[in-house]
Structures are given as structure tokens and as C-alpha cells.
């Protein structure tokens, strides 16, 4: 057991040790300062600029940044729909996988464009190699777009008055070529040399120990797994995701993939400190995020290593902890660690089945997605946290009787209205659509709405998890839910669209509005945002605004299931 815990601690410490220098490098990339990658990638960047007719030196205001973001995503949306609905006759389909229906193609396209990667299909049988490559391209695009928007907000937070916040396309291209691509090459090579396939050949066959002929799917797996983890995408090449031995062969690859999940989200916090020249503020943000992360991680590891009480009542000993739905090569501690890291970010990949986790561990996974700001996805994780910073500054200012100010800019009614709407949107989408699905199931449990294999408390948790995952742009699921039907394809697609782009529009609008305001130098009466006190205030706002909003729903699902097992 101690060995399991040592593995978890080692993974987290390695992540932080790698994230600190990576954050400085990312800060230099977004500040257009000299880095080791310039000689290698400057010619590559110029090719993309010429092909796209981009002038990287032409700066944009916040509205132009949003217009660029939405336009390129519309183009990629249409391309993906075309490919996914016509895969059967297109090239790179050695296994003869069929084309997708319109509703499934809509769900899948929205899922990958929005960095969610919710998969209502099994990768090895539901998508051709061409389809997998297109989706892998989107894993770069969606991650790069999120990082570019984050860079825009970083530029807006700097201490000056301006409308010009850099060039979106330059931030986007540099995010892909200077950050995501080199890291993906390194991770893909580590996976490749550890046994993960990288081929365009079709299924292979082998004779099992009992003499059966088995057909094994393979493909360009290593490349897709690398960017799925680093870009907090999470869409697996195989249906079982990183629980599949070819996608995650052993404990070493498990460490590499798990470190990759939160590496860039943490590094972006340190990049913020470098860009703003406020490293202490970055450490406060990191401290709040880490405190929330540990509040979810520690009890999750405890409950999974303790075992399942329902199995204990049958007289079955569980010396290794709760092993239902888990891989023996990872164990419950590493599975719980992955389960929390993948849900506090928008990654959503799995190395164990979340549906089989003990009830409270399932609740902690839900909690990470419901808060959606403890590290979060690449780029957008900080945007979610930025909303809570604005709310915390406003409340703190009112409490001490001073005009709320953040980094020398006054927080006024317009910014607070936008922040409040965005903060409540996440709750509204999750709870309203969960209520709708619960109503439909209650009135038609065996007919068109017969999608639950586990009615009762756990069945409710499955529906709640699906919409929470969609709204958090996460993509993991409680897979006892029959979600591959038009109702879930369409409703989850709508939730993913709204929850991806509205929470981006809000923070960028706030940052752009604040950037235009007159800069007020700090004085003795200025609220300090780089102190532990402000960190505690921000953490309290997150818990009150985000976490407690979901308590009634959690009480109906995992909490009720936990007490029913006693």
C-alpha cells in the first residue's frame, strides 16, 4: 500500500518540478521573447502565416480575438462533419469501419472542437484511421485555441491601458508549434518505445493460450495518446481509453500519461506570474488550486484503497483495496489519482472505469468537474478561475469598504454581471438537463428512455455525471449509461457547445473591458491579491458559488448511494 502511495506522490512532485520551468518557457513564447525553439519553428510558423494570410504583428482588440476564435471553429466543425459522415468510402479505412449517423457525427464533432472528447462510440470500431487523424488534429486545434485565449487574457491583465491584446492567430500557431508539438513528440516516443502501436496497418491476429484466433485493433495510437493527454483532450484511440493495454502498457506509461494531464494547466499558472512579473500572485493561484485538488484527491485515494463496503459484507477480503473496474498493473491508488487529475482538468481520459468507483470517489470526480477551476483544462482552466477572482475581488472590496480593484483596474457593475452569469451558467446547464433526463426516464423507464442499466441512486449519478462531464468539457463518463442514442448525442452536444464558448467569451470580455480602463497605481488602500488572505477568500467563493450549488443533486446521487451501502 505504501508503494502505491509513493507512486502517487512521485507523479505529483514530478509534475510540479517540470511545470515550473515549462511555465517560464510558455511565458517567453507569449511575450515573443527569444527561446531555444525559435531557430527550429520560426520557418514553420511563417509557412502557416503565409497559408492563412496572417500578419502576426497586427494586434487585435478583445472582440476581434473572439471573432477569430469562433470563425476557425466553425470551419473545423464543417470539415469534421464531412469526414465523419463519409468515412466508409474514404481512404485509410483498412478495417472497413462505417460512417457515423448525423446525430453521432454532430456529438463527436462538437465534442472534439470543444476540447471535450466525449465519445459515444468505441474508437477501434467506430472511426476509420482518417477519422482518427482528423480528430487528433482537432486535439491540437482545440487545445491551441484554449491556450491562445488564455494568452489574450494574460495580455489584458498587464498593468497598462490598451485595447490591443496581441494577435490571436499568432498565439494559436505558437501554442501548437512551440508548446504542444514538441511535448507531444517526446511523450509519443516514450509511449512508442514502451509498446504503444504506431502503424496504419489494420487489425492483427494472434492465437490465444486457449487456442482461439483473436483479432486485435491497432493504428496510429502513440501520436493520438500524446496529444490527448497534453492538450487535456482525453479522447482515446480505443474504447477503453487508457485502461487498454496497447494505449497504456504499464506503470511507466501510466506515469507519463498522468503527468501529461496536469502539466500544462499548472505551467500556465507560472506563465502568468512570468508575464505579469507577479510571481507571488501566481503562487497564490497555484496554492488555491492545489488546496482544492488535494481536498478531492486525498479522500478519493483513501476510499479506493480501503475497499468497497458492499463487497466486504459478502465476506470477500480486499487486500489491494477496491479493484472493481481497475487494472491490476495500476492498482486503486494510481487509478484514484488519475480519476481526480482527469476530472479537475478537462481531460476526461480514464485508466479505470469511473462507474465502478466507490460512491464518494465518484462524488469527488464529479466535484472536480463541477468546480471546473482547480487547474482546469489548458488555457480555459485559468479563465474559469479568473471569473472567481473577479467575484472574490468584488466581495472583498465591499467587505472592507473600498472600491474593488484588480491589478490597478476598477471592478464595476458590468464586469460583475458578466462574471455572475458565467459562474451560474455551468450550474444551470448541468442541473436543468439532468432534471430533463430524469423526468423522461421516470415517465418512460422501459421505452425510448430505457438508457439506464442501474436505476436508483447510481442511475441518477450516471445521468448527472454525463451532463457534468459535458458542461465541464471533460468527456469521461459513468459508462453504465446507454448514451449512444439521439437524445444524449444531441443534448450533450448542445451542452458542450454552450459550456465551451460562453465561458470563453465572458472572461475575454471582462479582461478586454478592464484593459481599456485607466490604470490606477497601487497604494496603501489597494486590496492585495498576492496574499494568503486573498487566496482563502477566493477558495471560499469557489466553494460557496460552485460546490454548494450542486449539493442537493449530489445528495440524491452518490451521497445517498454511499449511505445505502452501510
3-state secondary structure (DSSP) of residue 206: strand
Q: Indicate the helix (H) or strand (E) that contains 169.
A: helix 168-174
Please give the pLDDT value at position 213: 83
Please give the pLDDT value at position 446: 67
* Residue 244 phi, psi dihedral angles, 5° rounding: -80, 130
Instruction: Write the CA distances from 279 to 20, 274, 282, 468, 490, integer angstroms.
Output: 11, 6, 5, 33, 43
Please give the pLDDT value at position 355: 92
Range 447-451 contact pairs with CB under 8 angstroms and sequence separation of 24 or more: 448/487, 449/487, 450/482, 451/481, 451/482, 451/483, 451/485, 451/487, 451/488
What is the residue-wise DSSP string for 437-501? HHHHHHH-TTTTT--BSS-SHHHHHHHHHHHHHHHTT-----TTB---SHHHHHHHHHHHHHHHH
Please list the pLDDT of the chain residue by residue as tens digits (566 residues). 578 889 999 999 999 999 999 999 999 999 999 999 899 999 999 999 999 899 998 999 999 999 999 998 988 899 999 999 999 999 989 888 999 999 999 999 999 999 999 999 988 888 999 998 999 899 999 999 999 999 999 999 987 788 899 999 999 999 999 999 999 999 999 999 999 999 988 888 888 778 788 888 888 999 999 999 999 998 889 988 999 999 999 999 999 999 999 999 999 999 999 999 999 999 999 999 999 999 999 999 999 999 888 787 778 888 888 898 999 999 999 999 999 999 999 999 999 999 999 999 999 999 999 999 999 999 899 999 999 999 999 998 888 777 788 888 899 999 999 999 999 999 999 999 999 999 988 877 666 566 887 888 999 999 999 999 999 999 999 988 888 889 999 999 999 999 999 999 999 999 999 999 988 887 776 778 889 999 999 999 999 887 788 999 999 999 999 998 76
Helix axes 380-400, 486-516, angle to 10 degrees: 50
Please give the pLDDT value at position 450: 66
Instruction: Point out which residues pair with 214 in neighbouring strands.
Output: 206
Please give the pLDDT value at position 64: 94
3-state secondary structure (DSSP) of residue 357: coil
Please give the pLDDT value at position 513: 94
State the total domains in the chain. Answer: 1
Q: Look at residues 188, 221, 190, 191 and name the one whose alpha carbon lies nearest to residue 204.
A: 221
Q: What contacts 355, CB < 8 A, 6 or more positions away?
A: 325, 362, 462, 477, 478, 479, 480
**Contact by Cβ (8 Å): 461, 327:** no
Q: Look at residues 219, 171, 214 and name the one whose alpha carbon lies nearest to residue 198.
A: 219
Q: Residues 236-260, buried b or exposed e (16+ Cβ, 10 A)?
A: bbbbbbbbbebbbeeeebbbbbbbb
Q: Return the residue matching grid coordinates 449512444.
A: 484
Q: Give per-residue pLDDT as tens, 205-222.
A: 888 778 788 888 888 999
Q: Is the dihedral of CA 205, 222, 500, 295 positive or negative?
A: positive
Please give the pLDDT value at position 397: 85
d(C-alpha 242, C-alpha 253), whole Å:
10
The DSSP letter of residue 547 is I
**Contact by Cβ (8 Å): 472, 383:** no
d(C-alpha 260, C-alpha 544), whole Å:
30
Length of the chain: 566
Q: How far apart are the first and last CA of the chain?
A: 24
Query: Residue 127 is part of which domain span?
Result: 2-564
Amino acid at each position: 500500500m505504501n508503494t502505491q502511495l509513493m507512486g502517487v506522490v512521485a507523479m505529483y512532485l514530478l509534475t510540479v518540478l517540470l511545470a515550473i520551468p515549462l511555465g517560464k518557457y510558455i511565458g517567453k513564447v507569449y511575450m515573443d521573447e527569444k527561446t531555444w525553439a525559435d531557430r527550429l519553428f520560426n520557418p514553420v510558423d511563417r509557412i502557416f502565416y503565409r497559408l492563412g494570410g496572417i500578419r502576426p504583428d497586427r494586434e487585435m482588440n478583445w472582440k476581434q480575438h473572439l471573432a477569430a476564435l469562433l470563425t476557425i471553429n466553425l470551419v473545423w466543425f464543417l470539415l469534421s462533419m464531412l469526414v465523419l459522415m463519409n468515412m466508409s468510402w474514404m481512404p485509410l479505412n483498412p478495417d472497413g469501419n462505417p460512417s457515423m449517423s448525423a446525430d453521432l457525427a454532430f456529438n463527436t464533432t462538437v465534442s472534439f472542437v470543444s476540447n471535450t472528447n466525449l465519445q459515444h462510440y468505441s474508437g477501434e470500431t467506430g472511426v476509420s484511421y482518417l477519422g482518427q487523424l482528423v480528430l487528433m488534429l482537432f486535439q491540437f486545434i482545440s487545445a491551441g485555441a484554449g491556450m491562445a485565449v488564455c494568452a489574450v487574457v494574460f495580455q489584458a491583465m498587464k498593468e497598462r491601458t490598451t485595447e490591443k491584446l496581441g494577435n490571436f492567430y499568432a498565439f494559436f500557431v505558437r501554442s501548437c508549434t512551440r508548446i504542444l508539438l514538441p511535448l507531444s513528440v517526446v511523450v509519443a516516443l516514450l509511449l512508442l518505445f514502451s509498446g504503444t502501436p504506431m502503424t496504419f496497418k489494420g487489425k492483427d491476429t494472434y492465437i490465444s493460450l486457449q487456442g482461439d484466433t483473436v483479432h486485435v485493433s491497432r493504428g496510429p495510437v502513440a501520436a493520438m495518446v500524446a496529444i490527448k493527454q497534453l492538450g487535456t483532450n482525453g479522447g482515446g484511440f480505443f474504447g477503453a481509453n487508457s485502461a487498454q493495454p496497447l494505449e497504456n502498457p504499464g506503470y511507466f506509461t501510466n506515469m507519463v500519461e498522468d503527468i501529461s494531464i496536469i502539466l500544462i494547466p499548472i505551467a500556465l499558472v507560472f506563465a502568468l506570474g512570468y508575464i505579469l512579473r507577479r510571481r507571488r500572485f501566481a503562487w497564490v493561484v497555484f496554492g488555491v488550486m492545489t488546496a482544492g485538488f488535494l481536498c478531492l484527491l486525498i479522500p478519493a485515494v483513501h476510499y479506493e484503497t480501503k475497499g468497497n463496503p458492499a463487497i466486504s459484507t459478502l465476506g470477500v477480503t480486499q487486500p489491494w483495496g477496491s479493484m472493481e473496474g481497475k487494472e491490476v498493473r495500476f492498482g486503486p491508488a494510481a487509478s484514484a489519482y488519475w480519476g481526480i487529475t482527469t476530472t479537475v482538468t478537462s481531460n476526461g481520459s480514464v485508466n479505470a472505469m469511473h462507474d465502478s468507483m466507490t460512491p464518494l470517489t465518484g462524488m469527488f470526480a464529479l466535484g472536480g468537474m463541477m468546480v471546473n477551476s482547480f487547474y482546469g483544462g489548458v488555457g480555459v482552466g485559468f479563465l474559469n478561475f479568473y471569473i472567481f477572482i473577479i467575484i472574490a475581488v468584488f466581495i472583498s472590496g465591499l467587505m472592507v469598504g473600498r472600491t474593488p480593484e484588480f491589478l490597478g483596474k476598477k471592478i464595476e457593475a458590468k464586469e460583475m454581471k458578466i462574471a455572475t452569469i458565467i459562474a451560474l451558467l455551468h450550474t444551470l446547464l448541468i442541473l436543468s438537463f439532468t432534471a430533463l433526463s430524469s423526468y423522461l426516464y421516470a415517465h418512460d423507464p422501459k421505452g425510448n428512455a430505457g438508457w439506464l442499466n442501474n436505476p436508483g441512486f447510481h442511475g441518477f449519478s450516471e445521468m448527472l455525471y454525463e451532463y457534468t462531464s459535458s458542461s465541464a468539457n471533460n468527456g469521461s463518463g459513468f459508462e453504465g449509461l446507454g448514451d449512444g442514442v439521439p437524445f444524449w448525442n444531441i443534448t450533450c452536444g448542445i451542452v458542450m457547445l454552450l459550456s465551451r464558448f460562453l465561458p470563453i467569451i465572458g472572461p475575454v470580455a471582462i479582461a478586454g473591458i478592464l484593459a481599456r480602463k485607466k490604470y490606477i497605481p497601487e497604494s496603501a488602500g489597494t486590496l492585495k491579491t498576492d496574499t494568503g488572505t486573498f487566496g482563502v477568500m477566493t477558495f471560499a467563493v469557489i466553494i460557496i458559488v460552485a460546490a454548494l450549488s450542486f449539493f442537493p443533486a449530489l445528495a440524491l446521487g452518490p451521497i445517498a448511494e454511499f449511505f445505502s451501502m452501510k
